[in-house]
């Protein structure tokens, strides 16, 4: 089980949060300098929130969904608990939150540009690919979930799936 998650984390979020930003900084005109206390505090807060959200969503995928976030090992059961009651993509939200944190902590507009690019890429990918796959795998349950829980901007109250008779 541990190896399954290590592969998922290394191949997916690690590349988005470490490899790509490192390459961006390496090949840009980035000049490290001390950031303002405001940027450091907000950046650290967002990083912690993003890490906690990522850990929570990954744990739910394993415990409830019996799978991982990796396309080669997807959840076998639809996860609609915890943060998934508020927003359909809390894993991506956690990664986006950590990218903004990196941008603030490092004072890099280039990393902010990567955040925008990653967000736009997922905005195209999710409705055309991932959601179609989820509709096939989970059918009416996913369609009901999709109608009630927004893709990116969280609901103010938790959504509770209706019980079927």
CB 70 within 8 A of CB 9: no
**What is d(CA 95, CA 27) in angstroms, rounded to the nearest whole number?**
22
Q: What per-residue confidence (pLDDT) applies to 5?
A: 64
CB 34 within 8 A of CB 106: no
Q: What per-residue confidence (pLDDT) applies to 68?
A: 83
Average pLDDT over residues 82-106: 96
Q: What is the CATH number of domain 36-165?
A: 1.20.120.1630
Domain ranges of the chain: 36-165
Instruction: Using the predicted structure, report yes or no on whether residue 100 has a pLDDT greater than 50.
Output: yes
Q: Which of 15, 19, 138, 20 is nearest to 88 (CA)?
A: 138
Q: What per-residue confidence (pLDDT) applies to 124?
A: 95
For residue 152, how many other CB atoms are within 10 A of its CB? 14
What percent of the chain is predicted at pLDDT more than 70? Answer: 93
Q: At how many degrees (to 10) do helices 37-63 and 90-106 cross?
A: 160
What confidence tier does 165 reach under pLDDT thresholds 50, 70, 90?
very low
**What is d(CA 149, CA 84) in angstroms, rounded to the nearest whole number?**
8
Average pLDDT over residues 18-30: 95
């Amino acid at each position: 089980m541990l190896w399954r998650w290590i592969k998922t984390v290394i191949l997916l979020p690690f590349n988005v949060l470490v490899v790509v930003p490192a390459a961006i900084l390496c090949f840009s005109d980035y000049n490290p300098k001390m950031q303002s206390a405001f940027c450091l505090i907000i950046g650290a807060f967002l990083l912690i929130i993003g890490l906690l959200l990522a850990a929570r969503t990954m744990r739910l995928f394993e415990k409830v969904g019996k799978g991982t976030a990796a396309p080669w090992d997807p959840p076998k059961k639809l996860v609609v608990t915890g943060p998934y009651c508020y927003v359909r993509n809390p894993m991506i939200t956690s990664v986006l939150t950590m990218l903004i944190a990196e941008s603030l902590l490092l004072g890099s507009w280039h990393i902010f540009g990567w955040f925008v690019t990653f967000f736009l890429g997922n905005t195209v990918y999710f409705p055309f690919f991932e959601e179609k796959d989820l509709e096939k795998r989970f059918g009416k349950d996913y369609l009901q979930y999709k109608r009630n829980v927004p893709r990116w901007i969280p609901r103010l109250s938790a959504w509770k799936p209706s019980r079927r008779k």
